[in-house]
Amino acid sequence: MNYADNDFLALAAPWVAELTPYVPGKPISELERELGIRNAVKLASNENPLGPGPKALAAMAALANELGRYPDGGGFELRRALAEFHGTSPAAITLGNGSNDVLDLIARTFLQPGVESVYSEFAFAVYPIAIQAVGATARVAPARNYGHDLNAMLALINEQTRVVWIANPNNPTGTWLAAAPLRSFLGAVPKSCLVVIDEAYTEYVNEPDFPDTTHWLETFPNLIVTRTFAKAHGLAALRVGYGISDPRLAELLNRVRQPFNVNALAQAAATAAISDREHVRATVELNRAGMQQVSVGLTALGLEFIPSVGNFVTVDCKRPAAAINEALLQRGIIVRPLANYGLPNHLRISIGLEAENARFLSALAEVCAA
Ligand SMILES: *Cc1c(COP(=O)(O)O)cnc(C)c1O
């Protein structure tokens, strides 16, 4: 190899050299520093505007004196609580440093150069990154009405396909799949292909035919369901999520998992949060009202949006959204541009507190009038 000094790119695995990193929502502190302002509003990362519930906060406070010790690497209490919540065995649970970590564990365990992995256009940006980071080949199915087209996805699955990724509901579109089509899709996928159903926003959905696919694990042993504490449970900063699957799949995922991937505060808070039904109820109710407020406000401005069952809504600006995003930032409002999803005219708005939603809508009205 003809190596030029410090050409580190040439040293990287070729698929890593071509990888584009994930772009997170801009932190509040960063915008405040840049503009020299205070009380910026962040509606960019689908966080819970209520934050953690009282049970999670108390559990974390009680742990302060034990932080000198490593966490329980097996996550015994949290896996037991999750197993009880889902009516499964603790052996079915894989804990992750966020559900993103579980998605990554799945990629590292089952993908490699020469195998394929299928996801949908406009699906969560982490799937292509997880696939490419391990050198597997991505196959992208075209979306239908911004959502997953299960027939198009099925058409891309072959003997080389090891993992197919489905977000239900999907981020950033807020679209969702009903039980019947999703179940027949699972029935049609070959047993040699794992199906990951990412249910990060499941708590927010109030549709009668929306599935809880954790109930399907015995019927479909190639199914892995992922959940997170980052959204409805309000614990985004702690980084904690999990997978539920056949214990034999979980055992493989646990081989590549870092021994202490979920920290002690996260384990304690999540163990308390999973039984805090009242906090989830208040969160979902706030979101329902906020979604109504934002939808009415957008419609009043003559803007179209993709109907969403999540805690966010994606707006079609009908012109390049980058300038609108910039103008909102200047007014202290952080939302999420979606050009990296192939949606350059769209902005995704997380539903916040009533006052935050109102500030967003009035800033947007100003920007649209200008
Ligand atoms: C936010 C989100 C996640 C959760 O990520 P964490 O790593 O648990 O914070 C997973 N999937 C989708 C589709 C999401 O939008």
Q: Is residue 141 part of a domain?
A: yes
Same domain for 67 and 170: yes
Q: Is residue 12 part of a domain?
A: no
Q: What is the mean pLDDT of residues 132-138?
A: 98
Same domain for 31 and 61: no
Which residue segment(s) compose the domain that 326 sits in? 26-51+278-369
Say how many domains are in the chain: 2
Nearest atom within ligand 1 for CA of residue 310: 15
Tell whether the model's pLDDT for residue 227 goes beyond 90.
Answer: yes
Q: Is residue 15 part of a domain?
A: no
Same domain for 165 and 42: no
Domain boundary among the residues 231, 257, 276 is at 276
Residue pair 201/310 in contact (Cβ under 8 Å)? The answer is: yes
- Pairing, β 223-228 against β 194-198: parallel
Bridge partners (DSSP) listed for residue 164? 118, 195
338: enclosing H helix or E strand: strand 336-338
Domain boundary among the residues 242, 276, 310 is at 276
Q: Is residue 96 part of a domain?
A: yes
Tell whether the model's pLDDT for residue 2 goes beyond 80.
Answer: no
Nearest atom within ligand 1 for CA of residue 101: 7
**Residues within a 6 A CB radius of ligand 1:** 46, 98-100, 124, 167, 171, 198, 200, 228, 230-231, 236, 241
Report pLDDT for 200.
Answer: 98
CA distance 13 to 145: 36
- Report residue 204's pLDDT band, with 50, 70 and 90 as the boundaries: very high
Per-residue pLDDT tens digits for 310-323: 999 999 999 999 99
Tell whether the model's pLDDT for residue 1 goes beyond 80.
Answer: no
Among protein residues, the one whose CA lies closest to atom 12 of ligand 1 = 200
Residue pair 210/178 in contact (Cβ under 8 Å)? The answer is: yes
Mutate to test the pocket of ligand 1, among 48, 97, 100 (most ligand atoms within 8 A of CB): 100
Q: What percentage of the chain has pLDDT greater than the value 70?
A: 99
Same domain for 362 and 254: no
- Report residue 5's pLDDT band, with 50, 70 and 90 as the boundaries: confident
Spatial CA neighbour of 73 closest among 273, 226, 244, 267:
267
Domain boundary among the residues 276, 292, 308 is at 276
Same domain for 222 and 129: yes
Same domain for 269 and 288: no
Please state, rounded to an integer, the average pLDDT across all residues of the chain: 97
- Report residue 23's pLDDT band, with 50, 70 and 90 as the boundaries: confident
- Report residue 122's pLDDT band, with 50, 70 and 90 as the boundaries: very high
Predicted model pTM: 0.96
